[in-house]
Chains A and B, each alone.
Chain A
Amino acid sequence: MIQNNQPALFERFALDGPMSLSVNSNRKLKNIIVKMFVLADLDESYTSRSLVPMVLRRGTTRLPDMQALRRYRESLYGCILGSSVIKVGEWQVAVFSLDIVNEAFLPGEESLLEKGLELLRELIFDPLVEDGAFSADYVAREKELLATNIRSNIDDKSEYAVLRCTEEMCAGEPYRRHEMGNLDEIAGIEPGALMDFYRDWSSSAPLSLYVCGDVDPVQVRERVAAAFSFERSETKTLSELPAAVEVGEVREVREQFEVNQAKLVLGFRHGIRPGDDAYEALLLLNAVLGGFSHSKLFQNVREKASLAYSAHSWVERTKGLLYMSCGIATENYEQALEISLAQLEAISEGEISDREFDASLKTILNQNRMLEDNFPALVGSDFIWRLHGGELDLAGLRERLEKVSRDDISAAAATIRHDTTYFLHS
């Protein structure tokens, strides 16, 4: 890490057991944003792990159903309570969040944050228990909903095409698993076994808590320590970062649907991670290739060939993947594929114009600076950096970005391997 004189983005506190607390105290927010990350490997229990937060949101010991929970939230000025499951590389992370108005902007109100933190604790650690298990009714309904949600992935064809490309590209690797779980495994999940799974997971998972807002960090630490003090078993160790995978011949997968617009998704592999020497070059490569409207994909697929409304690329940083995607007419498949692949090829051969280089660097630096005002994104980004053994350092990142040359970008492009071509068409 490059040393600099910028104040750290987060003040860190170690709490009892495996929980870390990171606080960003700022004058920008009118609300207080709290996020709890509960970590695990993306292993064969992934369907149960996806179901648990859905059952938890149904009711706690004190607020035993959705109506009671929702009415209590409304009385706390409509605080937002969220639970979701995300995939970070080959880890599966449950994210519980609280967004509550800062009482400084509500004359006459006090202890709103304490009430909010207590509610968040109840949501995660104090579920409604019936006969030693989760409510059988809640589990049955949420299983049905989870099945519908997984089936509904097909509703949005752009996202579905990316999901299918990933399944094909990473067949045989844990990353093929969708964070929502496996449809075929849902029926076999029982309320008692799910409770045992939940107790084991929640008492041994590494926990990471973030708080952002106009707050006093030391006071927050005290409140969090008071709200989240409980017995825990030994903390589980997470698996290592996924190993590199060799790429053979390009896999081609085509699927037919009744659609007005076809979706072309190309999957690539790179081995570059946050903290690696080439990481900043990879970010710039994506900016030149397809991250923005000045990028090669948008310019060539959309603006020059008029083939698509959307044409872009993005980077998955933990598993080490890069995707390109566009929505086109079915008959333009060959042309769109050829133009898309030619853009990456051009970059690896050094074809990066002054304008492309300039615009890419400036746009990324701008995004980097503006991240300081976007607290959910700031938290998400720091969380991922910490999973990679570092921490988010925006000023350091800017310094390193400014040192990247065109040759570095071409060199990064040359290491990227095309793995899978997925085409959803009519």
Chain B
Amino acid sequence: MRIGLSPWTGFKTMTRLELEKLSNLTLKEEVYRTTLPSGLEVSFCPKPGFQKRYACYSTRFGSIDNEFTGSGGESLRVPDGIAHFLEHTLFETPRGNASDLFALNGASNNASTSFTQTTYLFAASDRFWDNLGLLIDFVEDPCFQDDKVEKERGIIEQEIKGYDDNPGWVNYRGLLGNLFSEHPVRIDIAGTVETIAEIDTATLQSCYDRFYHPSNMHLFVVGDLDRQELFEFVAGRSRAGEALEGELERKYPAEPAEVFKAESEVEMDVAAAKFILGFKEIGVPLAGEDLVRRELLSDLGLDLLFGSSSDLFRELYEKQLVHDELWSGYDTLGGVAYAMVGGDTSSPDEFPGRLLDGIESCLGEALSRDHFERKKRQLIGDFVRRFSSLEFIAHGFTTYLFRDFDLFSLIDLINGLDREMLEEHLRSLLDPARHSIFKIIPRSS
């Protein structure tokens, strides 16, 4: 439930800063947020009684952002994998490696890069302000050095090779490469050994200047802290920043509606064959309530059709076509989306086709009122449960804020779902004309 904007004063270091308060009375949770003069958005969720205090500093910069406009409006194309490379190199500060500095404060820290977002985080029970200052400093004050970039290249090469031996990852990447022919979602988040060879301090700096501008970032803090002290601290510590020069426009190539490849497979040292059946969507909104509703409908619908309570799963399981449960998922990014259902099978030739055929015949029954209402209860339960986790609150809010949506409103969206909109969405999403299959086959030798 949104209580609305509540002007709140009392800062020593600034005037006229307003905090917006979001709250949910059922969950008994509140979030305060504001936008600093630099453009940086800052949010705080009080969690009295918790030992852990958690902060994550995120930018809307991920692996798909490899072509964008520079300060003069010119188009820049950067090497694949640069967002992830930048994440690694940002840890090198003039005072030493940021991870070491966090350790000296007792904090645990990490960072991650996805298709659309890079996040730096720490968790600490003690010396919170030292750690928050460190997080803000190292993210806001980069120091790209040739020798450090070289060292990081060797480490990332090993990281990429580790992923190349992971069957689940190879399967997922393979499917995306099959579904999409142009969109950068088909490129590995870390890039390849060849593309990261092109990265240098100049390319890193040019990405940093555009994507790490305060107006493109969000700082989320959760824990047992004083609200006033927190916002004062961040306002005093974070850079003032000048307005971003020129508009930051991300350029994604036009993606055809058809899939790039209907089917492919690779051999690996695995015990059982793995497969993912995927469906592709284009023309998906970048943000807003419609996007979030689409994600909810997809998750709910895929679980209704393929989850272990469905008739389709029961039939496939009884015919021994699937070893254990099927998993499913849906992701939207940069104007495209994909739905996936996967699992292990001893009949890799037969099974994905049977699954595809089963969708049409089971869709009607899966959408019955009883099944739909039960799944809605599950979604509500999952939503409530996750508020036990500080990490979920921080990452969930950030991800949704980057989509112009607030996490508390998700419950209203769930309650507002109906069967008609679900059926319409599923019939469009699971269009057999836009599917692809990627399989991992046990090595024959």
Contact = CB atoms under 8 A, between A and B. Distances in A.
Interface of A: 26-31, 65-67, 70-71, 73-79, 99, 101, 105-107, 141, 144-145, 148, 151-158, 257-261, 292-294, 302-303, 306-310, 327-329, 355, 358-360, 362-363, 365-367, 369-370, 372-373
A402 to B, nearest CB: 12
Lowest 6 A-B CB distances belong to which pairs?
A77-B381, A362-B106, A78-B378, A151-B271, A306-B154, A294-B103
Contact of B381 (A101, A107, A309): A101
A67 B371 CA distance: 12
A105 B26 CA distance: 6
A365 B105 CA distance: 11
Nearest to A106: B384
Interface in B105-161: 105-108, 123-126, 151, 154-156, 158-159, 161
Contacts of A328: 158
A388 B381 CA distance: 37
B388 A29 contact: yes
Contacts of A65: 314
Interface stretch (B8-16, B47-55, B282-290): B47-55
Given A151-B272, A154-B270, A156-B166, A358 B374 contact: no
A367 B388 contact: no
B194 interface: no
Contact of B161 (A75, A107, A260): A260
Contacts, number: 175
Interface of B: 26-28, 47, 49-52, 97, 99-100, 103-108, 123-126, 151, 154-156, 158-159, 161-162, 164-168, 269-272, 307-311, 313-314, 317, 320, 323-324, 344, 374-375, 377-382, 384-385, 387-388, 390, 443
Contacts of B123: 366, 370
A328 B156 CA distance: 12
B336 to A, nearest CB: 29
B379 A373 contact: no
A362 B381 contact: no
Contacts of A28: 47, 49-50, 388
A327 B388 CA distance: 35
Contact of B158 (A79, A307, A358): A307
Given A74-B309, A107-B26, A370-B125, A99 B158 contact: no
A148 B271 contact: yes
A111 to B, nearest CB: 15
16 contacts: A28-B388, A30-B384, A74-B377, A77-B378, A148-B271, A155-B270, A155-B271, A294-B99, A309-B156, A329-B161, A355-B104, A359-B106, A362-B104, A362-B105, A366-B123, A370-B52
Contacts of B344: 148, 152
Contacts of B124: 366
B162 A310 contact: yes
Interface centre among A26, A28, A366 (most CB of B within 10 A): A366
Contacts of B100: 293-294, 355, 359
B136 to A, nearest CB: 19
A152 B385 CA distance: 31
B323 A362 contact: no
B88 to A, nearest CB: 10
A31 B388 contact: yes
Nearest to B96: A355
Contacts of A307: 154, 158
B50 to A, nearest CB: 5
Contacts of A260: 161-162, 164-165
A257 B270 CA distance: 11
A301 to B, nearest CB: 10
Contacts of B270: 152, 154-155
